[in-house]
Amino acid sequence: MLTKRIIPCLDIKNGRTVKGVNFVDLRDAGDPVELAKIYSDEGADELVFLDISATEERRRTLFDLVRKVAATINIPFTVGGGISAVEDVEELLQNGADKVSINSSAVKNPQLINDLAQKFGSQCVVVAIDAKQIDGQWIVHLVGGKVPTELNLFDWAKEVEQRGAGEILFTSMNNDGTKSGFANEALAKLSSLVNIPIIASGGAGNVQHFVDTFVDGKADAALAASVFHFKEIEIKALKQELKNNNIEVRI
């Protein structure tokens, strides 16, 4: 049985870690290099680093910061934000990233998923999907959740799998930063439709929410930010509680 993964997420803006609610009202959450080391030492399974303003500001990800983070941790490291070409990924991998996460660029140019999977292997390609439930439909959004598309979450998830994505990072915009729990119904449906791992994101507020997303949401990994950044949940204690609930985790 594959172990479930706990993944802290560093949302980066202007070189600092930030956290908001429903993708807005950002506040400072600390130095990304320091936080990365803490999480690596505390037993996080992986780390995700998202340069959240790179796409909007039409610039490339912060390679220097990626290199510094990679040098301080010994767990798999996924980097996203502003990636739109094979060359960007090549440079990120050279700077210490293990995987890349693409979002807006994948929707605008779906062939990019195929190209990256072909060149670097599916295990390297995470497609992030930010979706919002509107009138009962899960609609995919781009550019940090600012631009709605005509894509349906579930159709798009099936397509990215077919194109070679190795994982899907699904963030529910309705749940993001609310601490009301993950979007488990949508997660369970996603899990039944695709055969690649699903990372749950958006809504973690307490330990029970993690238990629920693994049991009810059938998620393969759970990603969170503020509950870790502001020390509301300690990773070691969280993993122990998951184990107590018969959920396989690496301790």
- Catalytically annotated residues: 11, 130
Total Cβ atoms within 10 A of residue 152:
14
Closest of 31, 126, 30 to residue 77, by C-alpha: 126
Three-state DSSP at 126 gives: strand
Total Cβ atoms within 10 A of residue 27:
11
Burial class of residue 173, CB neighbours in 10 A (0-12, 13-18, 19+): buried
Instruction: Quote the CA–CA distance of 100 and 217 in Å, as a whole number.
Output: 24
